[in-house]
Amino acid sequence: MPSLLPRRTWLGLLPLALLGGCGFALRQTPPMPFSRIALSGFAARSPLEAELRQRLAGTVQIADTPAQAEVVLQALSDRRERSVVASTSAGQVRELQLRLIFEFRLASPDGRELIPATALKLSRDMSYRETAALGKSQEEGELFAAMQTDVVQQVLTRLSRVDLRGNAATR
């Protein structure tokens, strides 16, 4: 038995070694070309703003006012929509479409536009049954949370590519 322990240890570490060798890395916040950002226009206790703050906190300083920041991320719209896309002849809902729409712009404190008004729209389809309404409600929340994480990652990617010297973000 003592001779099997090292073999099992090596077999257990092999997948980790292969993942490291293929370039696998957890998703991280990309480096930003600025050091201070202000967030404005978000609703009170916005989950999207909270996730943005959390992801930006390790990379840049989040200023309280636009005057203290190098750039200002202004939320123009942050909506979550739910619509019925399929129903039975009896009028029972069978499929829903969930949409998350986030519109924003990035500007310097003096008003110079760095990223023009941009709309990020994500949608997911979800089957629905009245008999499983509680579980479907939880699934809906999880789908919205996943879409929100996708939107935050897209915003961070756009922010990381902004050119502070020019008038528009580099693509």
Binned at pLDDT 50, 70 and 90, residue 171 comes out as very low
Instruction: State pLDDT tens for residues 109-164.
Output: 998 999 999 999 999 999 888 878 788 889 999 999 999 999 999 999 999 999 88
Q: Does the structure show a pLDDT above 80 at 3?
A: no
In this prediction, residue 70 has a pLDDT band, given cuts at 50, 70 and 90, of very high
Q: What is the pLDDT of residues 6-65, one digit of tens each?
A: 666 666 766 766 666 666 665 677 889 999 999 999 999 999 999 999 999 989 999 999
More confident residue, 4 or 162: 162
Per the CB < 8 A criterion, the answer to whether 14 and 21 are in contact is no
Pairwise CA distance, residues 81 & 161, whole Å? 29
Q: Is 107 helix (H, G, I), strand (E, B) or coil?
A: strand
pTM of full prediction above 0.85: no
Q: Are 31 and 58 in contact (CB under 8 A)?
A: no
Length of the chain: 171
Topology of domain 27-160 in CATH is: Double Stranded RNA Binding Domain (3.30.160)
CA distance 144 to 148: 6
Q: Give per-residue pLDDT as tens, 73-83.
A: 999 999 999 99
Please determine, for residue 170, whether its predicted confidence score (pLDDT) is greater than 50: no
Q: What mean pLDDT is predicted for residues 88-106?
A: 92
